[in-house]
A and B are shown apart, each in its own frame.
Chain A
């Protein structure tokens, strides 16, 4: 069964704040849930399916359904780190196609900026691989740096090329009044920022923000009766990549599997895509993903992103026009939600006019969870305009 055209994104909401010391995490879930429902023109009583991930406190979906007052007949708490919410849209489309629900609510919230970093320490302590990684002091940045070093070694990728990704994100963020880092930056500024783990500088890393977001995914019947322009779910792919019995290859991500699955279901190719939201926890995350999704040949990502290749509207592939995780928002250290939200804005012609892709018909939203190339969830969505 294909999910092509079986569901629509009817509501999308990104919390406008980036530092929220005066709210609990459930409160933020509540705010973004109401924001997305209002965007769709629906109410809590309409929701019959609920999706959340590891950021939902307490008993997860059960606690949040209770807090929000939901009475659902379908629940899905799939946890694949920051890519979870991209996965959820695909799963919501499947559930709607199977008649399990007709109005699916997806929420994300967290406060790592004001409340302290939540890296999932408890989960890592009991992880079977735990004792064979953490004892050697790998920071999160180091994990991504190891992938970047190997990519540079095999393909000649340079720090200046990685910096181009940050430069493009910052160029977009200057038009987003809510962005955490709205100031444009130059390649030189990225290269001169402090080294965190070679070859990644501070400006190769995403922001740490409080906040959240929510999506409402509905059946075609529900979409038809709404005043709001909806976005069609055309294809979804997901994958888990791991170290594969210690034979890990750091130069590619799970997007090599999730991408083709999504494109095939949608019946389109990477060349057809007008806009892409690409998970950008670090600049190297974007570079490997762009290659793996097939926007360019493996190893040629550096040349692809150079010379403003990712800048909207004139670049080869306009990306992350909200400023992405690198400059705008990375709520709860989980960037998949905001990837879908900005793709929805583009397909509704509601991105900032300075970065809106003219006649945007087809968009990709791609999520990356866990640690790049070593233990990760990849999720790709292909989205189209309501009449796609």
Chain B
């Protein structure tokens, strides 16, 4: 658990499996049955081929920081949370997902850092996948 706010996400028919898995502490990714493309953000449609036959796979839960910033002035649910890190993490399966990097000094996060998934429970029964430095 990190000390960051964990606002509950909008859950839709298309994204319910992702958030159900997150609640159980698993990071899953949609993959196209027709062309095997791993899809991000989660949707019931393959933007590579147009297929709607999409299944869910377990992600390794590890990745590399593609870009990161320390937000010094937050808004909304994060109004009191600064400083905190917003990053794109390139998952080992390919997609670059927006997330937070937690579990270390915000100024210590850098591009190229290896990170692993961790989950913060929301107050609505699901959990947000965040990342922390590998081995921290």
Contacts and interface: CB of A to CB of B under 8 A. Distances in A.
B86 A138 contact: yes
Contacts of A133: 98
A248 B69 CA distance: 16
Task: Please classify the interface of chain B as helix (H, G, I), strand (E, B), loop, or mixed, using the class held by over half of its residues.
Answer: loop
B1 interface: no
Interface stretch (A87-95, A96-104, A140-148, A340-348): A140-148
B39 A142 contact: no
B125 interface: no
Interface in B58-100: 66-78, 81, 84, 86-88, 94-100
Contacts of B71: 137-139, 141-142, 197
A125 interface: yes
B95 A245 contact: yes
Interface string B102-135: 0000000001000000000000000010100000
Given A150-B67, A247-B94, A137 B73 contact: no
B25 interface: no
Given A132-B42, A142-B86, A247-B94, A150 B66 contact: yes
Assign chain B's interface to a size class: 35 or more
B50 interface: no
Nearest to B4: A137
A146 B10 contact: no
A149 interface: yes
B32 to A, nearest CB: 10
B48 interface: yes
B7 interface: yes
A367 B46 CA distance: 30
With a 10 A CB-CB cut-off, give which of B9, B14, B37 has the most chain A CB atoms.
B9
Given A195-B72, A247-B94, A135 B9 contact: yes
A128 B11 CA distance: 10
Given A150-B67, A246-B95, A137 B74 contact: yes
B62 to A, nearest CB: 16
Nearest to A147: B67
Contact of B10 (A130, A150, A153): A130
A267 interface: no
A146 B88 contact: yes
B96 to A, nearest CB: 6
B10 A197 contact: no
Nearest to B77: A137
A42 interface: no
B69 A247 contact: no
Given A142-B69, A245-B47, A245-B95, A137 B40 contact: no
Contact of B96 (A136, A139, A199, A246): A246
B70 A198 contact: yes
B52 to A, nearest CB: 14
Interface string A242-278: 0111111010000000000000000000000000000
A137 B76 contact: yes
B46 to A, nearest CB: 8
A375 to B, nearest CB: 11
A66 interface: no
A11 to B, nearest CB: 38
Contact of A136 (B11, B42, B86): B86
B101 to A, nearest CB: 10
A147 B42 CA distance: 23
A135 B7 contact: yes
A249 to B, nearest CB: 9
B78 to A, nearest CB: 4
Contacts of A250: 66-67, 88
A196 B98 contact: no
When A and B form their complex, which 6 residue pairs have the shortest distance between CB atoms, in order from nearest? A246-B40, A246-B95, A137-B78, A145-B69, A131-B9, A132-B41
Given A131-B9, A137-B100, A146-B86, 4 more contacts: A131-B12, A137-B77, A141-B71, A247-B95
Interface of B: 4-12, 14-15, 37-43, 47-48, 66-78, 81, 84, 86-88, 94-100, 111, 128, 130
Interface of A: 125, 128-139, 141-142, 145-147, 149-150, 153, 194-199, 243-248, 250
9 contacts: A132-B9, A136-B98, A137-B74, A137-B78, A139-B74, A142-B86, A149-B111, A247-B95, A248-B96
